[in-house]
Structure 1
Amino acid sequence: MQPHVIRSKVANITALMSSPLRRLRFAGWIEGCTLIALLLVAVPLRHFAGFAAATKIMGPVHGLAFIVYIVTLIDAVSGGGWTRKEAVRAGLAALFPFGAFLNDRVVAVKIIQQEAVNR
């Protein structure tokens, strides 16, 4: 890979993780994807195919993603600009399949609002 391509990719990753809200959005996607993989792939493999290793692998992966999501949520909420209702909704969203994806739109709007204020 060319050095300028590597620098460009590093810059993109840096921009993605540049604020608590952006980190929350990224963590929400990861948490949501791991929950869906756990429920729609690993659990059926365990119960219908007898492949218990699927949940033994995917369960801890999702558990780690959930913990990271909660930590990034606390980081984002502690930065201010969140109502109690928004914080509770974001926390509860992690408990339901597709909840993280539904919450993503709200976080995206908060990112846009934050960037408008910072300009």
Structure 2
Amino acid sequence: GDVLAFSGLTGDFNPLHVDEEFARTSPFGTRVPHGPLIPDMYLGLLDRLGLVAGTAMAFLELRWKFLAPVLVGDTVHARVVVQAKREVKKPDRGIVTFAVTLFNQRGEAVQEGEHVLLLARKGRD
């Protein structure tokens, strides 16, 4: 479902993503999701967990590496660390850099990177 929906949104119907018979002949032996789908799903999870809910003002930067294949059906989880915080001219906001590693169900790192957000700051006591 998610892979086909992403294909429809992006127009990328590469058979490696959508055709199981074709994908069986690939080095992966099965379909693989589009590379950008996985970090996009992570960003959705970040929002659903409420970690930046109500504070995210802008997505400023993304640096990302694909370390190992993610296969259709894999379960992926994330380790997220605040790597840096930086004040900006306006006191009601700041820039936060997050370091992320995504792991499959076998504990193998499959993707990693950093993303930078402009976040609203909470009032100081």
TM-score (norm 1): 0.27
Structure with greater strand share of residues: 2
TM-score (norm 2): 0.26
Task: For CA contacts below 8 A with separation 6 or more, give which structure has more relative contact order.
Answer: 1
Structure with greater helix share of residues: 1
